[in-house]
């Protein structure tokens, strides 16, 4: 499939998605969200791809928000549908993807951009990155999961401060509040993420997928995450990856998953 707004590159076990709307600072519109949905599904279905990195083109922005002109005239029903469809098609999809997703935040990550980064499993920011949820300045609130994922990452108080002020924080503050895992220079960003992907790719894809599912279960209402972990742990014992991993350990060699 040919894409207009994103670029996909596959190199061995790594899938790299670049949002490529530099003149719009990589803002998310309906077409871009649709293309990202397709790209994540395609890479997740590719058994050779062990890790996905998502980033933005250029050095200014990861994603500088949503394309406001697209919904400026929406009514309440259209607004609800915009949020529901976006969450289902992209943001929840990424959060629950069986393939781990690393967000390489290479600049501004605002509104939907920060929400996309938060939906990813691991976040690495360049030192020039700025992050925020400025929706209240438009008479809106975050609609792509920001009111839920930001408190999970930084705590309720800091999340409400960021959401109600609409202000931005820099990469170092994001690191201090555990919004991102690492901060590196712009020049090192992709290579750092690739090294992280290499470490992940050495391990069992089946076990990684199960771990993502178990961790996510902790954030679902009426779901006992411990029960999910017990079930997933037990299921591991019936897999080829378990047999290979334990055999490799006992034989003092590197496993081949």
CA dihedral sign of residues 114, 120, 125, 126: negative
Give the pair of three-digit tokens for residue 162. 């960021």
Give the pair of three-digit tokens for residue 103. 């967000």
Phi, psi for 20 (deg, rounded to 5): -120, 70
Degrees (nearest 5) of the Cα angle 90, 94, 100? Answer: 160
Residues catalogued as catalytic: 115, 135
Using CA atoms, how far apart are residues 92 and 53, in angstroms rounded to an integer? 17
Using CA atoms, how far apart are residues 171 and 70, in angstroms rounded to an integer? 29
Reference 61, options 100, 117, 15; nearest CA is 117
Using CA atoms, how far apart are residues 151 and 145, in angstroms rounded to an integer? 11
H/E element, 159: helix 156-165
Alpha-carbon Rg for the chain in angstroms: 19
Using CA atoms, how far apart are residues 123 and 196, in angstroms rounded to an integer? 11
């Amino acid at each position: 499939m040919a894409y207009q707004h994103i670029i996909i590159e596959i190199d061995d076990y790594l899938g790299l998605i670049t949002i490529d709307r530099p003149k719009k600072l990589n803002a998310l519109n309906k077409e871009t969200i649709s293309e990202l949905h397709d790209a994540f599904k395609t890479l997740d279905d590719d058994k050779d791809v062990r890790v996905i990195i998502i980033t933005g083109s250029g050095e200014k922005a990861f994603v500088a928000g949503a394309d406001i002109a697209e919904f400026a005239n929406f009514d309440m029903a259209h607004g609800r549908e915009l949020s529901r469809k976006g969450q289902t098609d992209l943001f929840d999809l990424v959060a629950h993807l069986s393939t781990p997703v690393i967000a390489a935040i290479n600049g501004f990550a605002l509104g939907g951009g920060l929400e996309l980064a938060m939906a990813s499993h691991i976040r690495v920011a360049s030192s020039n990155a700025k992050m925020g949820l400025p929706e209240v300045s438009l008479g809106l609130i975050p609609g792509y999961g920001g009111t839920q994922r930001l408190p999970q990452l930084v705590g309720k108080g800091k999340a409400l401060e960021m959401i109600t002020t609409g202000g931005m924080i820099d990469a170092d503050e994001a690191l201090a509040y555990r919004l991102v895992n690492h901060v590196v220079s712009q020049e090192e960003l992709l290579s750092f993420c690739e090294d992280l992907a290499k470490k992940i790719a050495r391990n069992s894809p089946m076990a990684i997928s199960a771990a993502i599912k178990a961790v996510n279960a902790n954030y679902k209402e009426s779901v006992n995450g411990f029960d999910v972990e017990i079930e997933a742990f037990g299921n591991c014992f019936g897999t080829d990856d378990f047999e290979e991993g334990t055999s490799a350990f006992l034989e003092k060699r590197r496993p081949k998953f």
